[in-house]
Structure 1
Amino acid sequence: MSAVYGGVEGGGTHSKAVLLSAEGDILAETDGPSTNHWLVGVDKCIEGINDMVQKAKVNAGLDPDTPIRSLGMSLSGGEQKAAIEKLIDEMAKRFPKLSQSYYITTDAIGAMATASDHAFWISHRAVKTVFDAKDNMAIPPHDITYVKRAMEEYFQVSDLMGMLPHLYRNFQKSYFAGFCRKLAEGAKEGDAFCRYVFTEAGKVLAQHIVAVLPKAHQDLFSGDLGLPILSVGSVWKSWELMKDGFTQVLSEAQASGFSHFHKYSLLTLCHSSALGGAKLGAQNAGITLALDYSTTATVFFSHSFTKQ
């Protein structure tokens, strides 16, 4: 069979791997656990990557003992040279049948933008508000009866003291972030505090865009989509709840001096950023994969600051 190229999207809660043909066709995709080496350590990180890619080889009908041509990975911390070198050296040494060459970049490059941690931010903000209210540290902006009850049900505790193991000894970021789903349910049912938290989350997400606006190339603002913003992470499933806060912050930024910022569009990937990782890995090996970019992302929201 002709050369095969692999890509990995390394997440803090779960990861994905993909194998592509030289023509850019997807041969196999697999899911796996967290491969954020800052959270799980180098050993578990590379073991998870190896397991996903080897499983993908089998699913694609390939010999698992034959290394693929290249493996490109978008991982958290991928911009740090020392960390990259350590991961690649360990993978090459421990798993010689995995790939002939390796390339690692940051997850922000692999996906262009990522917001996966905002589910944790929302959950943490809600829980902290309950604690602050109990300790008389701050008056909550809205009644917290719903969120307190939902918190006790989700974490299976009867009082705030019962939360301490979840915050310290037994802390699991992915499980804690899962509380965001209960908050989304409350927001959709009309709970004022839950809606407030999601509006605030929208503002925080928009601040990430504002932070990079001064560095964005002018060409990015001139297309039919305006500024394209790639939106990655499960938190974007709650876009309708975050929209008001998000649009408010960007509208304020546009009015404060970014006159060329006339429109923006939010896009979601049709495939994981493992696809981008595969492309970058192949490119690093001197190969250009033929990808159809018209099918890699779709627009789910557009906003113009001025009438067109």
Structure 2
Amino acid sequence: MQYFAGIEGGSTNSKLVVLSKAGKILCKKRGGPTNPYLSFPKTVRTISSLVSDAKRELGLDLEKPFGGLGLTLAGIDDEKIYTDMLSHFRALPEIAKQYDLTSDTIGPVETAFGPGHVSVVIISGTGSACRLVTEKGEQYKCGGWGHILADEGSAYHTSVDAIKMVIRREEKNYLENSFTRVFDIEPLRNKMKEYFGIQKCEEIVPIFYHHFEKKRIAGFTKSIADLAFKENDELAKSILRRTGKKLSSLVRGAIEQYKMDHPMPKKLNIIGVGSVWNSWDIVGKSFLEEFQNVNLKFCVLNETAAIGAATSVARKSGVHIPLDRSKLIKVIYEN
């Protein structure tokens, strides 16, 4: 039997699936981060380990390659990284016979909608990025430059925005938006101290400059969401609404690029990926305000984008894997 594997990887963790030619999920595995831009050696080790673990679970010979391995990874957009990654695995005949490498924005589109559609993926997890993919596979990019240059609308930048707000209020600094200054800062300040385990604002500095962990800082967004939803805090809600606006700006940027070459599609299929979309009732509604006159469908995945990575490499190998995509997505909004 021929097997096709796919891996969805990012800066936080990775997911592997193995599919049969009939589209049945035979195996699922989880592993560490696989962002080659951050660590090429660690990424290739993790991928090789995931593949070996999957073969063991399936009772396969470790030296027998999969029919194909699809990788949808953060950081793979870099041309040198892409070439080096492909060369590395092609030199390992026991891994797979065929490879398909794409960015972490393409796997979700393939999983949710398949080829042949104008589709948009908007990622908002630890980082953020947007891609619009045409029927022919052309890509229009907005965002995805990393947390120093961009990542607006991500969990990391949402957390940083909130922390800056606390600091500025502490200093009576009028760089804070005049709209948010009317809200009580105390609940957010308390959440920040509780989450980071600090007693005063000055103690946040070493967390950013001496013990920096992007994932840890991004995780504070969950506390902000709890404050908004569980405690009905207006400041927290305003922070999440601003996140929604930033994400809509990324999508609008990709659309504007697309419209320079094509007419606006009759319907826009959007797939949202990442933990920030769990706050849909605030983030999503703010996001949709920018698309009131656009015919669109917004979905999230019920399954990992590794499925799309596997079907894509199978198609590259001449094998069409049938999928019931209606079971792979959850439609949150459609007009």
Q: Same fold (TM over 0.5)?
A: yes
Q: How does 1:1-308 map to 2 (within 5 A)?
A: 2-39=1-38, 41-93=39-91, 95-112=92-109, 113=121, 114-116=123-125, 117=127, 118-137=154-173, 138-139=175-176, 141=180, 142-188=183-229, 189-214=231-256, 215=258, 220-221=265-266, 226-251=267-292, 254=293, 261=294, 263-302=295-334, 304=335
Q: TM-score, normalised by structure 2?
A: 0.80
In the alignment, structure 2 segments of 5+ residues that lack a partner are 110-120, 128-153
* Distance in 2, Cα, partners of 1:77 & 1:31: 19
Aligned 8 A contact 2:62 2:94 in 1: yes
Q: Which 4+ residue blocks in structure 1 deviate beyond 6 angstroms?
A: none
1:107 Cα deviation after fit: 1.3
Match of 2:330, SS? Answer: strand
Aligned AA for 1:169? H
1:56 Cα deviation after fit: 1.9
* Distance in 1, Cα, partners of 2:326 & 2:195: 41
In the alignment, structure 1 segments of 5+ residues that lack a partner are 255-260
For residues 124-162 of structure 1, the C-alpha deviation after alignment (integer angstroms, 9 at most, x for no partner) is 111121122334432451222111111111111111221
1:96 Cα deviation after fit: 4.2
1:233 Cα deviation after fit: 0.8
Aligned AA for 1:208? L
Identity %: 29
Aligned AA for 1:89? S
1:28 Cα deviation after fit: 0.5
Match of 1:267, SS? Answer: strand
Aligned 8 A contact 2:31 2:46 in 1: yes
Aligned AA for 1:115? S
Aligned 8 A contact 1:18 1:53 in 2: no
1:245 Cα deviation after fit: 1.7
Number of corresponding residues: 287
Q: CA distance change for structure 1 residues 211 and 247 in 2, over 3 Å: closer, same or farther?
A: same
Aligned AA for 1:23? A
Aligned AA for 2:274? G
For residues 187-238 of structure 1, the C-alpha deviation after alignment (integer angstroms, 9 at most, x for no partner) is 01111110000000111111122122242666842xxxx4221111111111
1:269 Cα deviation after fit: 1.4
* Distance in 1, Cα, partners of 2:69 & 2:246: 34
Q: CA distance change for structure 1 residues 124 and 22 in 2, over 3 Å: closer, same or farther?
A: same
* Distance in 1, Cα, partners of 2:326 & 2:290: 29
1:110 Cα deviation after fit: 1.4
Aligned AA for 1:127? I
Q: TM-score, normalised by structure 1?
A: 0.86
Match of 2:7, SS? Answer: strand
* Distance in 1, Cα, partners of 2:263 & 2:244: 25
Aligned AA for 2:309? G
Aligned 8 A contact 2:36 2:81 in 1: no
Aligned 8 A contact 2:37 2:81 in 1: no
